[in-house]
Structure 1
Amino acid sequence: MCKTECIGPKKEKQEDEKDTKPKRKRKKKITDVLAASAPKPGCPADLQKLFEDNFTDKRSVIEMEELKLPVCPKWAKLCKNHTEQKSVVMLIVCSSAHRVLDLIKQLTTFKGNAKVLKLFAKHIKVEEQIKLLQKGVTHVGVGTPGRIKALTEQDGLSLKALKYVVLDWNWRDQKLRRMPDIPEVDYTEERDCAECYTLRLDRANSIIDCACTVFFSLSEAFKGDVFMYYGLTNFHQNQRHYMVSRDDAQLVGRQYNLKNPSITCVPFDKYKNGTPIAPCGAIANSLFNDTLQLFYHSDKNTETPVPLLKTDISWFTDRTVKFQNPSPKDNLTAAFAGTARPFYWWKPAYQLSVEENNNGFVNEDLIVWMRQAAFPSFKKLYRQLNRTQEFNDGLPAGNYSVKISYSILSQALSWRNELSHQYVTKLH
């Protein structure tokens, strides 16, 4: 009896305490907002207004949740009946180009036989996307607000056949960071570099130094690790004869191949007097050899050199396994004795860098170049930011300039040059 009497009052007390405890307020979710608003028929003007109202400033979400709603119940029938060019049945609007690519991969099962087209600004010109839209029938367009708006304004994308608009509004970049536009500068014959371009029209001027400067600005800071790339257009590293024009045995430091280059390097294997070329082949001969120096201009109109790292820009397996210097490695002048530089180089391989661990065949600029690109327009990593002093957090917003030592190859091989910067967040 005592046990029953003792436990009873205790239980009532716990229940009273539970009743007086304040309840946590439930946060509003996306589905609540959608349920409170009735769907309305739209028109192209509504979509354009939507872009201007919601994508010109910073955006926020209410409460993140996995949104599961039925989408496009008559998708197969709509795709079958869709025959209009320059238009899409479904338009998916994303916050960044990276998200566009991610969503296109996820659409594989859903789209079936439908054609999907990516619509974003990174490395794809508006004119090229207009041609793709005119070429055939596209069912799904996945892109960023700025590019979609540009296509509609230039009549490259028609909204007449549009049935569904999906706004990917509940996705955010890692650590709430959004990807800013990557600044790109085509300096082939632009601005101050036009004089260098004209000078290089005559190959006899190849021994004359020529430098130029281009300017650009960052509207917002690039926080974190920043990488600097050079880009080439109309340069076919994927051409089959070019791809095999190298001697991997020579590049790994074998003494025999150093003095006896492979037949695959012909006609870039030896000089007329029989002196072997190191490194041999068309790939090494066409090495990108413009020199780029980055400067930051503060509010006080001072020019501050931006510290850049030349190392750790190539694949780890390339610089540790596929590329090695010949012996003796502590005296590269002696190691490369009896060989000559490639035809289009200004200096031999053992003078590519003043740093011993970045010289000769293990020079990382050479290693990066020797890994061929799959397409005629490509970008290769040139430098990465050395995060020290005022650049400890990345590149601050403001004005910048790049001083360029212009190369003969830029005109001799008929390619176009550009440089770009981007930042990434490393995940540990």
Structure 2
Amino acid sequence: MSSEVPIRSALAAKVNKKRKRPAEEAPKQSKTPARKSTGNATEGPKAKKQKDGKNKKDKNEQEDKPKAIRGEPLAKERRGGMDEAIGKMDGRLLADHFVQKAKRHNKELTAVELSDLSVPDSAFLDTSSFDSPRALEQLPVFMKAFSPKGANLSDSSEQKGTPHTLVVSPAGLRAADVVRALRTFSTKESPIGKLFAKHIKLEEAKQFLERARVGIGAGTPSRISDLIDSGSLKLDELKRIVIDGSYVDQKQRGIFDMKETHLPLLQLLTRSEFRDRYGAKDKKIEILVF
């Protein structure tokens, strides 16, 4: 009996040792934390491809921004229905902006066709000194600020349908708002001309111009061109073209951002009746971008 007790004790100790070993090894393994993906050196091909695509998109967006003025980059700041960058551009930058947008919207244009649609630097009056927000209620102040000293914007030519100022907007509804904003210049003898298609037929607009004196006309590029072609809208006394450039709609699009508005605008501004008078000494026409 005495010899069996040590044997059993040794066997029990050996079994207990084997049971303890897995329990001791488990905590050791749990001490090593799971390796997390940092997204840097360990990122896979798919993540890298997505990152490269994002960088390419960011680069394209950067190239679409207006060029620098006096060495400082401009960022497109579109807040509250306004593209604030437009007001910071001088004539040279505006001319380049027009061309770049034309290239983007009309990739099929040849170099000659693009040249024909280019507005010269000399056509633009620099309005970058205007410090107030280019909200619609500021449009009359803007027009007064950049009119010759002593000029009365309520005046009009004795010749019917002969404005001294045209205000060009991207859409009929916006042009109607512009007409309301310019009521301060409207008189009984010389109302603001409604030169847009919204609820106004072409024949009605032609009849209005043939019977009324008009100092300021507000409309859209296509309708203004149609009225010039018809002979109802006369350009003998025209001194300035104000482009409603800072306004953007609910989709953050302005007159330069849509092909259906930008191309008619360029076609209007580069008509021979205008082009020959940009920078001229006699009967000069200037473009102001609001």
- For the superposition of Structure 1 and Structure 2, which TM-score range results when normalised by the shorter chain? 0.3 to 0.5
Q: TM-score, normalised by structure 1?
A: 0.28
Structure whose CA Rg is larger: 2
Q: TM-score, normalised by structure 2?
A: 0.40
Higher strand share: 1
Higher helix share: 2
